[in-house]
Amino acid sequence: MGLARRIIPCLDVSAGRVVKGVHFAGLRDAGDPVEIARRYDREGADELAFLDITASIEQRDLILPIIEAVAAEVFIPLTVGGGVREVNDVRRLLNAGADKVSINTTAVTNPRIVADAAARFGSQCIVVAIDAKTNGNGSWEVFIHGGRTATGLDAIDWAVKMQALGAGEILLTSIDRDGTKSGFNIPLTSAVAEAVGIPVIASGGVGDLQHLSDGILLGGADAVLAASIFHFGEYTIHDAKAHMRRNGIEVRQ
Amino acid sequence: MNARADIAVIDYGMGNLRSVSKALEHVAPDAVVAVTADAAIIRDAARVVFPGVGAMAECMRELQQRGLVEAVRDAAARKPFLGICLGMQMLFEHSEEGDTAGLGILPGRVRRFADEAMYDNRNERLKVPHMGWNEVHQAMPHPLWHGIADEARFYFVHSYYVEASDPAMVSGYSLYPFPFTCAIAADNIFAVQFHPEKSQEAGLALLANFTIWNGKMVAPSDAIAQPGRSGLITS
């Protein structure tokens, strides 16, 4: 027995509250972030992801006291992303208690931030988040600005490039699947997981427990991320782990 | 800030020291925990934690620039000392990461997981960094393992691992896919590659053990009779 596959509940945070949208829009309130983090920790989450989707830059600092509060009582790894524009943003999030910081839009507009942040803080804490949308021609394109802006970049090439620049992990979200509860985009996930040597977190589209195990067994992901199936009480983390174990996937108790 | 500390967490500008200090405060609410770059506080503290994340060369440079090398050596020579992650790797002589000289307090070197693809026995590719929860096999009884189940899972995130010259120092190992050393015990020094501050109950139990450790390697048979520990037992 060795390394366990991880289950990562994701908390989308806007102006201090956990919210959840469909296709990157249409937000619904899901509760207090610290309380939700505490519950997931108790249920056996392997890690927590916080994505700050606050629209205004001013309100974005509201994530810092939340991370501080969570880090003071939840002793599992915390990944925080959203609105990271410069190396100093990475530092502020790490100082607040984040263990890993995910970079999305800025990785495209200024790829050097990935190299600079990895050199300064280590690859282990730099996650590059890739939001990808299916093209007509059987490939996947990277989108930024919360899924609104096409970049012309191929998602697989981009993941390989980010690894070369020093990313320690890829958080891969299928825009087509996000919020649809129809399962991960398996071809996208497996294409990226095979292309890079760093861990890949599959994200976007989880509607039931089978989707989680599919992400690992069919998609080759190292970790699976989900939000709404956990937030709204459909399943607990414990249910998810029990399902994974029944399907022969090594998980932490 | 308190000029004296029961536990000094050495701050040399690298990594997330807040979670280390929060976890220590959580398990030892009565202890004064200081995150500090003050050599005098480190010298006077009853026990010292040497954490670290990031790149080895950068860690060594910061340690030197802040004039903390001697404080680390002094603590490692004589008081209960816990190295975490890079704080474990830096104790050794040399790291392949950036071809960097370590502190050389312990004999051995730091190596990188293979660059070419590694596979487990199910032929699944193993990624680097080694990131996530892995089982820790306890290679010896030790007071810091007290109340922690053998093969309990701890959280790891690293691409390099320690290869100690003296196998008798290995106090724990994990598989990825080969056995690598993830815990070292040498007199008053205990050092771990994983992050106890991020390893939930098992990690908190190890930190709690450290806060009451007398710095001796022998696990006293009377340890089980010590009060106040029953709540730390983890599965």
Q: What are phi and psi of A128, to 5 degrees?
A: -100, 125
Strand partners, B160: B112
Q: Do B58 and A120 touch (CB under 8 A)?
A: yes
Give the model's pLDDT for residue B5: 92
B62 touches chain A (CB under 8 A): no
Q: Do A3 and B16 touch (CB under 8 A)?
A: no
Give the model's pLDDT for residue B18: 81
Give the model's pLDDT for residue B227: 43
Q: Average pLDDT for residues B200-215, to the nearest whole number?
A: 97
- pLDDT band at A27; cut points 50, 70, 90: low
Q: Say which of B117, B131, B200 has its CB closest to residue A169.
A: B131
Enumerate the residues of chain B whose CB falls inside 8 A of the CB of residue A5.
Answer: 132
DSSP string, chain A: --PPPEEEEEEEEETTEEEEEETTEEEEEEE-HHHHHHHHHHHT-S-EEEEE--SSHHHHTTHHHHHHHHHTT--S-EEEESS--SHHHHHHHHHHT-SEEEE-HHHHH-THHHHHHHHHH-GGGEEEEEEEEE-TTS-EEEEETTTTEEEEEEHHHHHHHHHHHT-SEEEEEETTTTTT-S---HHHHHHHHHH-SS-EEEES---SHHHHHHHHHTT--SEEEESHHHHTSS--HHHHHHHHHHTT-----
CA distance A203 to chain B (A): 17
State how far the Cα of B107 lies from the Cα of A73, in Å rounded to an integer.
37
Position B231 pLDDT exceeds 60: no
Q: Average pLDDT for residues B127-135, to the nearest whole number?
A: 96
Mean pLDDT is lowest, of A192-196, B52-56, B107-111, for: B52-56
Q: Do A123 and B117 touch (CB under 8 A)?
A: no
Enumerate the residues of chain A whose CB falls inside 8 A of the CB of residue B22.
Answer: 71-73, 75, 97
Q: Cα torsion for B29, B31, B32, B36, to the nearest 10°?
A: -100
Give the model's pLDDT for residue B229: 41
Give the model's pLDDT for residue B223: 46
CB atoms within 10 A of CB A220: 18
Residue B63 and residue B83 in contact, taking contact as beta carbons nearer than 8 Å: no
Q: Which of A3, A163, A216, A222 to mutate to test the interface with B (most CBs of B within 10 A)?
A: A3
Give the model's pLDDT for residue A161: 98
Enumerate the residues of chain B whose CB falls inside 8 A of the CB of residue A198.
Answer: 127-129
Strand partners, A201: A171, A223
Whose CA is closest to A82, among A53, A44, A58? Answer: A53
Burial of B186-197, coded b for 16+ CB within 10 Å and e otherwise, reads bebbbbbbbbbb
Give the model's pLDDT for residue B17: 80
SS3 (DSSP) at B42:
helix
Helix (H) or strand (E) holding B205: helix B200-211
- pLDDT band at B228; cut points 50, 70, 90: very low
The top-scoring range by mean pLDDT among A55-64, A115-124, B61-70 is B61-70
- What does the pLDDT look like over A136-154, one tens digit per residue? 888 999 999 989 999 999 9
Give the model's pLDDT for residue B13: 79
Q: Which of A5, A38, A75 to mutate to test the interface with B (most CBs of B within 10 A)?
A: A75
DSSP string, B92-157: SSEETGGGEE---SSSEEEEEPPSS-EE-TT-PEEPSSEEEEEE-EE-S--GGGTTB-TT-EEEEE
Residue B41 and residue B3 in contact, taking contact as beta carbons nearer than 8 Å: yes
A94 touches chain B (CB under 8 A): yes
Give the model's pLDDT for residue A145: 92
Residue B129 and residue B157 in contact, taking contact as beta carbons nearer than 8 Å: yes
CA distance B164 to chain A (A): 21
- pLDDT band at B173; cut points 50, 70, 90: very high
> Which chain A residue's Cα is nearest to B134?
A3
Q: What percent of chain B has pLDDT over 90?
A: 77
Give the model's pLDDT for residue A137: 85
State how far the Cα of B161 lies from the Cα of B182, in Å rounded to an integer.
7
Mean pLDDT of all residues belonging to chain B:
90
Q: Average pLDDT for residues B58-63, to the nearest whole number?
A: 92
- pLDDT band at B15; cut points 50, 70, 90: low
CA distance B160 to chain A (A): 11
Q: What percent of chain B has pLDDT over 70?
A: 90
- What does the pLDDT look like over A185-221, one tens digit per residue? 999 999 999 999 999 999 999 999 999 999 999 999 9
A68 touches chain B (CB under 8 A): yes
Position A68 pLDDT exceeds 50: yes
A245 touches chain B (CB under 8 A): no
The more confident residue out of B172 and B58 is B172
Helix (H) or strand (E) holding B204: helix B200-211
CB interface of B with A, residues 160-179, below 8 Å: 174-177
Tokens, residue B164: 């100690």
- What does the pLDDT look like over B21-45, one tens digit per residue? 999 999 999 999 999 999 999 999 9
A41 touches chain B (CB under 8 A): yes
Position A22 pLDDT exceeds 60: no
Give the model's pLDDT for residue B175: 96
Residue B185 and residue B171 in contact, taking contact as beta carbons nearer than 8 Å: yes
Position B224 pLDDT exceeds 50: no
Q: Which of B12, B85, B198 to mutate to test the interface with A (most CBs of A within 10 A)?
A: B198
Enumerate the residues of chain B whose CB falls inside 8 A of the CB of residue A98.
Answer: 16
- What does the pLDDT look like over A86-116, one tens digit per residue? 999 999 998 899 999 999 999 999 999 999 9
Q: Do B127 and A76 touch (CB under 8 A)?
A: no
Enumerate the residues of chain B whose CB falls inside 8 A of the CB of residue A77.
Answer: 155, 157, 195, 198
Q: What does the DSSP 8-state code read for residue B11?
A: -
Q: Average pLDDT for residues A157-181, to the nearest whole number?
A: 96
A222 touches chain B (CB under 8 A): yes
ipTM comes to: 0.93
Q: Cα torsion for B147, B151, B153, B154, to the nearest 10°?
A: 70
Q: Do A223 and B132 touch (CB under 8 A)?
A: yes
DSSP string, A116-136: HHHHHH-GGGEEEEEEEEE-T
Q: What percent of chain A has pLDDT over 90?
A: 77
Enumerate the residues of chain B whose CB falls inside 8 A of the CB of residue A199.
Answer: 127, 129, 131-132
Give the model's pLDDT for residue A62: 83
Helix (H) or strand (E) holding B83: strand B81-84
